[in-house]
Amino acid sequence: MDLAIWVVLGLLLVVGIFLWVTYNQLVTLKVRVDEAWSDITVQLKRRADLIPNLIETVRGYASHEKEVFENVTRARAATVSPEALEHPAQAAQADGALHGALKSLFAVSEAYPALVASTNFLELQRELTDTEDKVMASRRFFNGGVRELNTKILQFPNNVFASRLGFAEREFFEVENPEAIAEPPSVKF
């Protein structure tokens, strides 16, 4: 009888250690995904902060392009809306719309050689390109973390208790129209 108790206690200890280690791994992955999402929102806000300056610079040369400015402003607002900053699907949709609007803005700017030569405009373009690169890198890091977390949650035996412990699969930051962002907005003149 003593042996049976020790066997049961040993099994309980092994199961307890397994749950403890698995729970800690899931927490680590969740925190990594949350951190990566935070990095994305920082870059989206940074880009959104650059856009009003870019609009004002272009507006000084092409004030009659009101619709283009309104579209860019509307798309910019959508990228920093609470929904976009909390949900990858909405962020991706807003990001695609902003890319399209920025392409229109840069197309308008091509018609104004003095604007293209403006150091202010060139600096804003450089900053925007740098920020776009950072958004793409942050998105890759986020999606990698989501992949790891979702895989861990879905693997057996984790899938049996992960949801009971409060862990759920996360959404990837995927763009609805990949062609829209296949290339960053053109900043070559």
Asked if residue 8 is part of any domain, the answer here is: no
pLDDT at 187 over 90: no
Asked if residue 40 is part of any domain, the answer here is: yes
pLDDT at 11 over 80: yes
pLDDT at 3 over 60: yes
pLDDT in tens, 25-73: 999 999 999 999 999 999 999 999 999 988 888 888 777 778 888 889 9
The count of C-alpha atoms lying within 13 angstroms of the C-alpha of 60, restricted to the half-sphere facing its C-beta, is 12
Asked if residue 17 is part of any domain, the answer here is: no
Q: What is the CATH number of the domain that holds 120?
A: 1.20.1440.20
Instruction: Please report, rounded to a whole number, the percentage of residues in the chain having pLDDT higher than 70.
Output: 92
Q: Retrieve residue 34's tokens.
A: 């949350």
Of the candidates 31, 111, 74, 128, which has an alpha carbon nearest to the alpha carbon of residue 84? 74
Asked if residue 6 is part of any domain, the answer here is: no
Asked if residue 156 is part of any domain, the answer here is: yes
Asked if residue 187 is part of any domain, the answer here is: no
Report the C-alpha gap between 27 and 35 in whole angstroms. 12
Q: What is the pLDDT of residue 122?
A: 85
pLDDT at 181 over 60: no
pLDDT at 97 over 60: yes
21 or 59, which is more confident = 21
pLDDT at 110 over 80: yes
8 or 178, which is more confident = 8
Asked if residue 14 is part of any domain, the answer here is: no
Instruction: Please report, rounded to a whole number, the percentage of residues in the chain having pLDDT higher than 90.
Output: 44
Q: How many domains does the chain have?
A: 1
Mean per-residue pLDDT of the chain: 87
Supply the pTM of this predicted model.
0.76
Asked if residue 13 is part of any domain, the answer here is: no
Domain of 106?
Answer: 25-181
pLDDT in tens, 125-135: 889 889 989 99
100 or 187, which is more confident = 100
Q: Retrieve residue 165's tokens.
A: 């412990």
Of the candidates 143, 146, 68, which has an alpha carbon nearest to the alpha carbon of residue 102? 68
